[in-house]
Structure 1
Amino acid sequence: MESHPSSWVAGAALALAVSFAVAPAGPVVAGTLVTQWNDVLMESVRRSKIGPPMVARAIGEVHTCGFDAWAMYDDVAVSTRFGGTLRRPPAERTLANKQKAFSYAEYRALLDLFPGQAGYIRDQMIAFGYDPDDASSDPTTPQGIGNLCANAVTSFREHDGSNQLGDLHAGPYSDYTGYVPVNTPDQINDPNRWQPLRFSDGLGGFVVPGYVGPHWGNVIPFALTSSSQFRPGPPASYPSGRYKSQAEHVLHLNAHLDDREKVIAEYWADGPRSELPPGHWTLFAEVVSDRDHHTFDQDVELFFIVGNAVFDAGVAVWEAKRFYDSERPITAIRFLEAGKTIHAYVPFEGRRKIRGEDWLPYQPATFITPPFPEYPSGHSAFSAAGAEILKRFTGSDYFGGSVTVAAGSSKAEPGFAPKQPVTLSWTTFSEAADEAGMSRRLGGIHFEQGDLDSRRLGRQVGAAVWDKAMTYIQGTAGQPSVARRAQPDAPLPVAATSTEFAIRSIAPNPSRSDVHIDFALPRGGRARVGVFDVQGREVARIADRTFDAGIHRVTWSRSAGRVRAGMYFVRVEALEQHRVKRVAIVN
């Protein structure tokens, strides 16, 4: 449900997000059905009132529902709730059936999460050519598979600690842990703790938003063993020198803002009525999908992993935010500089002297600082986790994205900044993620430590989610994970147990060198092993001969023929069946 009592959208008449218009390397196409459903999800988010961790959870949940339904028509993948028990026979594993099952699953998930947008979501289902009233639970039909998978995931998530239904405390997603802030909008009782703020509602009045998600560390994550698994910190505390120096650093950045830095601060803000930071990275995933001409199957996997990466990042960050309950820069600076004259950037006026207790970050007056503690940064973790997944999925950190922001389009200084169009560009996913983290320092929202520590946290979360997602994609979830991803250049051991027909492991993956492929045959016979690119062209024939029953290793020798960096598929054909796994090549 999308309402939230703490008014994440206070002052939402002035949205913070700059229009998203990344230029991919090649011509933009309509996209796969996966990216089209992601657009429906993002529009539902923009129309809603939920905060960042709730948005991240919605992304993970919707795309998990879609993945689970799709997995029932895949040769290998298993769903997160049913495993492979509902898998359909080979003759039914058509693209049309996959798309239909996927669509019904995502449709049902969206209705569950955004009931206030039911009319819009229903219209999109019709536009995609499906009957929104078909509630079949027949597991022999794609719509039945989709509905069953969505119901299994949403039923589980409705009781995952998020309080989505408001059954733990009145109001969807409301706090049920009894959090009470130490400070008030008018009184700093502890300069190390979070302070609620009073600011304009854009209509002549004032609002004091409550803490968004103090209970979020109780939410069951996708891959993390606990919400505190990668908890960083602690942050600097008063009266240490670090506490004072980090405040001075934010003051210095603010006082010397130029047009490019203002654009960076606003482009990445992703505030109310936008897709918010987690959604921003699904839009980057859409760009990658177009750029690399993804198939439907590839996008099902990509959005499943990206969605759960931002979901777990939100759980991890919000657990740490509650644990430390740390002050925002506005609280620290006003506390330290009260009664003093300081230099600051004043919108429409530039750098000038003001009273320390009057300092404001570079944000619109209707949303001067997000309503939750500073440490660690959500932007930094969401972005680092998203970048980590995109890098691993594509086999390269290369991005090549850019956005041009029009002159005068600032929300903080409309008609005034920037003076000229400003183009932001990112060669790599990591550059984009780092800039997203830096943007919060430029905007006066975060300290340096909150940014940098959270970048590390996001990468750790991304790696954990990748590994967990691979167990579902590769069909090993719930089994000893012999096919779990290895670190680059670290070959996986050959297991000596089960001889079910399967590709047991591909290592190293990603690879800069020779690739070792382990596969198992339950009985002897002819097997053909090949490598195919994303267009389905065979780029290497590794083996085509008779093998005995058991586990075998063949090697794709990279020296035999150079191939471009990117995503490839290893296909093993034997016993009138085939198995496929992905391998990323980096040069």
Structure 2
Amino acid sequence: MDITRRSFLLGLGLSGAALTAGCGGGGMVAPNRYSRSVAMQWNDELLLSLRGGKLGPPMTARAIGIVHTCLYDAWACYDTVAKPTQLGITRRPVAERTQANQECALSYAAFRALSNLFPDDVTRLSQRMVALGYVASDTTEQADLPIGVGNHCARLIIEGRVVDGANQPGGYADTTGYKPINTPDVINDPSQWQQLRFANGKAPGYIAPHWGNVRPFSLSSGSALRPSAPPAYGSPEYLRQVEQLLGVYANLTDTQKAIAEYWADGPSSVLPPGHWCLFADWISMRDRHTLDEDVKLLFLIGNAVMDAGIVAWDAKRTYNTSRPITAIRSLLVGQEVMGYAGPDSGLQRMDGRLWMPYQSPNFVTPPFPEFVSGHSTFSAAAAEILKRFTGSNIFGNYATIAAGTLAFEKNTPAEPINLGWETFSDAADQAGISRLYGGIHFESGDRIGRQLGRLVGEAVWQKGMAYITGAA
């Protein structure tokens, strides 16, 4: 289930605000009316590209980090103390430090970054530039022009990321020669990750097995926070986790089913990292952020989810653990379990070799190993940033799941369900446990993922704030 900015706006009783004006212009805003900053408008464009694109979760997180770092560096050129992240970028003199110049520089930086990451979206992105009063084709890097500042900042960051280990020029293809031990049809080692064949005939390979080698923002390497190994396949602790998952799965409430679908963030969505950019937008509206505040928050959130993806994928590749579908089908073949044969099948008794997660048969489990949970790591890292940035853990947001709207089972939930999050930690915890409810993660993958995410959030906060305060 994807989420849209409109659902959050409705929760606030707001409907958005007017576009800001172009370089040198000034927009009129009604008194006491909140106006969304140009930074959040470019966040909207980023989320549109993510929703329509085909990037996996860690690539999505990297894209968020790149775009919002480009915004930050362009903004920092006009701030009195903040330092940009790249060498070769100079602070502009006081006379040039106007909001109009900042907005112009930010727009060119965002446009260049998004055009590089999502070349198929250039037409739409160019239309956004026109709506803001800019000429998308202007590629000057003249330092005393805000257009030049934006283009220059974006180019430096883009060029630096070409060699960050992601292999963007190669379509993010694996650079390590990973070969799976198991095939969609043959399990040679049930403790190891298995490529799956979906009901639609697709059998996607491991998404980004090289991602632990990508250069992080705040850490020395993707392995800097590598956790200890999870419980060994077949060990008493492992079997306890299997039993726990099956017990929860066989007794799912409508609320737990709603949680599993709401947080799924699968294909054609903004994916887990983008989910937290939507939350950042909501916080911006709740707290009536200035442009400066939005730039700083998005810079920190973007790098938090980027680094979270790197450390999570390092653990996934290191331990290469099998997903519940592979483990349960291997451990419980010939034994009776409770499960769902597919959408609208209802809970039923079945042979363990036929067990299915509570997921669409066309995307029955994401194509990468179980330990650790990316959802848990992304969410805990972003929640840590939001908690520190706002100075409080209080969130106060919610999502309403209308009766009968869940995809896996007709007429579910029986009544509307409000998924409320009093705190940022509540939201992150719910995102993590949703993967247990969905039958695609074990307890340790979620728990350790949350721990990793909090550590990532702290590291990004420390480094990011050093740039923001000029101490870097």
Taking structure 1 as the reference length, what is the TM-score of the superposition?
Answer: 0.75
Aligned to 1:282: 277
Corresponding residue to 1:322 among 314, 317, 324: 317
Cα distance in structure 1, aligned partners of 2:11 and 2:216: 32
Aligned to 2:382: 386
| SS across alignment from 1:207 | coil
Cα distance in structure 1, aligned partners of 2:292 and 2:234: 54
Q: Mind listing any 5+ residue stretches in structure 2 that lack a counterpart?
A: 18-35
Kept in 2: contact 1:233–1:453 (CA 8 A):
no
- In the alignment, structure 1 residue 33 sits paired with structure 2 residue 38: yes
Aligned to 2:149: 145
Kept in 2: contact 1:254–1:444 (CA 8 A):
yes
Corresponding residue to 1:367 among 355, 363, 367: 363
Higher helix share: 2
Kept in 1: contact 2:213–2:221 (CA 8 A):
no
Q: Alpha-carbon deviation of 1:28?
A: 5.4
Corresponding residue to 2:242 among 241, 247, 251: 247
Q: Alpha-carbon deviation of 1:17?
A: 2.6
| SS across alignment from 1:366 | helix
Q: How many residues align?
A: 451
Kept in 2: contact 1:71–1:77 (CA 8 A):
yes
Cα distance in structure 2, aligned partners of 1:184 and 1:281: 34
Corresponding residue to 1:422 among 417, 431, 437: 417
Aligned to 1:197: 196
Q: Alpha-carbon deviation of 1:59?
A: 0.2
Q: Alpha-carbon deviation of 1:27?
A: 4.2
| SS across alignment from 2:420 | strand
Taking structure 2 as the reference length, what is the TM-score of the superposition?
Answer: 0.93
Cα distance in structure 1, aligned partners of 2:248 and 2:239: 15
Aligned to 2:174: 175
The residue type paired with residue 393 of structure 2 is D
Aligned to 2:398: 402
**CA offsets per residue over residues 73-129 of structure 1, 9 Å max, x none?**
00011111136x521111110110111101100110000000011111111111122
Q: Please show how residues 20-419 of structure 1 align to structure 2 within 5 Å.
A: 21-22=7-8, 27=14, 29-30=16-17, 31-82=36-87, 85-166=89-170, 172-201=171-200, 206-346=201-341, 347-413=343-409, 415-419=410-414
Kept in 2: contact 1:192–1:326 (CA 8 A):
yes
Cα distance in structure 2, aligned partners of 1:62 and 1:217: 20
The residue type paired with residue 351 of structure 1 is L
Q: CA RMSD in A?
A: 1.3
Higher strand share: 1
Cα distance in structure 1, aligned partners of 2:68 and 2:3: 25
Cα distance in structure 2, aligned partners of 1:124 and 1:446: 40
| SS across alignment from 2:361 | coil
Cα distance in structure 2, aligned partners of 1:19 and 1:186: 38
Cα distance in structure 2, aligned partners of 1:475 and 1:24: 37
Corresponding residue to 2:2 among 10, 17, 21: 17
Kept in 2: contact 1:18–1:266 (CA 8 A):
no
Cα distance in structure 1, aligned partners of 2:274 and 2:349: 38
Cα distance in structure 1, aligned partners of 2:387 and 2:460: 13
Q: Alpha-carbon deviation of 1:411?
A: 2.2
Q: Alpha-carbon deviation of 1:24?
A: 5.1
| SS across alignment from 1:266 | helix
Kept in 2: contact 1:330–1:360 (CA 8 A):
yes
Q: Alpha-carbon deviation of 1:281?
A: 0.3
In structure 2, the CA distance between the partners of 1:24 and 1:302, relative to structure 1 (3 Å rule), is farther
The residue type paired with residue 87 of structure 2 is F
Kept in 1: contact 2:344–2:408 (CA 8 A):
no
